[in-house]
Amino acid sequence: MNASDRLDATFLALADPTRRSILARLAQGEASVAELAEPFAISQPAISKHLKVLERAGLISVGQDGQRRPRRLEPRPLAEASSWLERYRDIWEASFERLDALLDELQREPEQAGADEPPRSAEKAAGRARREGQRRRRRS
């Protein structure tokens, strides 16, 4: 499975709240299928299907402890997903910074211009922020 397929499988597995709850439980330590099924009002076969999705994504593994086959959390796919998301953090932060600057300018404008004048600089600021966002998207 290539990196893109692994990322797809990880996000598909994380898209379900039951599977996210299972991962949260496994973050506390390994558990059997029965222990993982306990808090849910669904059948054990349904839990097993969720576990298969998590296993295929590489998010959990199956151990061997005598007769027991406990599941445990595998951190690598979550780290890969986190790394992928981090690349977009700069873009999000830049967008929030532009929005903050625009809001600051809009809040200062009525004080400077008076209540009766139209906020022309706000329109210019919005245009600048929009163009800056377009330039950043083209660069990435």
3-class secondary structure for the chain?
CCHHHHHHHHHHHHCCHHHHHHHHHHCCCCECHHHHHCCCCCCHHHHHHHHHHHHHCCCEEECCECCECCEEECCHHHHHHHHHHHHHHHHHHHHHHHHHHHHHHHHHHHHHHCCCCCCHHHHHHHHHHHHHHHHHHHHC
Q: How many residues does the chain have?
A: 140
pLDDT at 58: 96
Q: What pLDDT digit, counting tens, does each position of 46-63 carry?
A: 999 999 999 999 999 998
Task: Say how far apart CA 140 and CA 126 lie, in whole Å.
Answer: 21
- pLDDT at residue 136, rounded to an integer: 65
Report which of 59, 2, 71 is spatially closest to residue 30, judged by C-alpha positions.
71
> What pLDDT shows up at residue 112?
64
| pTM exceeding the 0.75 threshold for the entire prediction | no
pLDDT at residue 115 is higher than 60: no
Q: pLDDT value at position 126?
A: 67
Task: With a cut of 90, say whether residue 93 has pLDDT above it.
Answer: no
Give the pLDDT of residue 98.
87
Query: What burial class does residue 107 get, using C-beta atoms within 10 Å of its C-beta: 0-12 exposed, 13-18 middle, 19+ buried?
Result: exposed
Task: Report the pLDDT value the prediction gives residue 102, as an integer from 0 to 100.
Answer: 86
Question: Between 99 and 65, whose confidence is greater?
Answer: 99
- Comparing 16-20, 21-25, 110-114, which segment has the lowest mean pLDDT? 110-114
Mean pLDDT (whole number) for 63-86: 91
* Confidence class for position 81, pLDDT limits 50, 70, 90: very high
